[in-house]
Amino acid sequence: MKDKFGREISYLRISVTQRCNLNCVYCGKGDCAKKAAELPPEGYYKIAKAFARCGIQKIRVTGGEPLVRQDVCEIIRLLRSIPQIETLALTTNGVYLGQTAQALKDAGLDSVNISLDSTDGSTYRRLTGADVLEKVLAGIDEAERVGLSPVKINAVLMKGVNSDGAGQLIALAKERDIDVRFIELMPFSDEGEDRSLIVTGEEILAQFPFLRPVPGENSTAKYYAADGFRGRVGLINSVSHKFCADCNRVRLLCDGKVKPCLGQDAAYDLMPFLNSEEQLEETIKTIIRNKPAGHSFETKGAAHGLNRTGG
């Protein structure tokens, strides 16, 4: 399944809710408690199965916070049953992971990414609006214990907010067999002060010159490590060094609309075609074929809050 630019699209991110139990300063624009339309598990399964027949091989379940859905394990179980899906992952803030990791693993989940922007309790509370850091750390422990692999930490640094805690996050990659990935702040408005908060990958490397590139395959994240590290440090430089030419993904929103590009407004409704496999597949192919060349984060703010799109 290729778009008109020759990119092979093999990765589907499914946002199963825009609700979240946190309210991170860079993410939801204050609407994380609002419940938009959400498909039942069978709806995501039907659409994902059509995507798989068109060439999708990897699925990541996101939100909002996917673990606020009590039926999230049923969603995972149904997606796991699709023969063409080789990798099934989930991104979570980790608050409920300690109590659900085993059930998710049993349902067929392979790996998990956990959003963690600070290991300092007061900073974490200021960023997320909740005093739940210990629950998140316990969730990381439980994910490792039940065998979800790999376990990755996603962190967004902001200058003058949590950037001074980068070293503590990097220490997690030294001490544990996990990847700690720094994602450049996606602008959430067109205002200059938002862009002034961005910490680029180059700035992180300049601050920690002992990090050296890890040989091997790199995708959206470029990986680094150092002597004595059990894990790796990843840099996702989506703003300063856009990688749209190699983009292999599209996003399904919780209400059944498809966003071909995170940084563009366009979203296409698949709901009218759910009762016809042929129409559904042809619509998906048309959407993929017309996927935009790339985002415009370098000049324009995000079209939607991350809670709607899953990042």
pLDDT digits (tens, 9 = 90+) for 226-236: 999 999 999 99
User: Is 2 in a helix, a strand, or coil?
Assistant: strand
Would you mind telling me the total number of residues written for the chain in this entry? 311
- Mean pLDDT lowest among 30-34, 52-56, 94-98, 164-168: 30-34
User: Is 208 in a helix, a strand, or coil?
Assistant: coil
CA distance 93 to 99: 13
CA distance 102 to 143: 8
CA distance 34 to 63: 13
Percentage of the chain exceeding pLDDT 90: 78
Q: Are 253 and 265 in contact (CB under 8 A)?
A: no
Query: Band of the pLDDT at 219, cuts 50, 70, 90?
Result: confident
Give the pLDDT score at 188: 57
Give the pLDDT score at 52: 98
The helix or strand, by DSSP H or E, that contains position 128, with its residue range, turns out to be: helix 121-128
**pLDDT at residue 103 tops 70:** yes
CA distance 113 to 93: 8
The pTM is what? 0.92
CA distance 200 to 279: 43
Domains in the chain and their CATH numbers?
11-309 (3.20.20.70)
Query: Band of the pLDDT at 220, cuts 50, 70, 90?
Result: confident
CA distance 171 to 175: 6
Which amino acid, residue 298? E
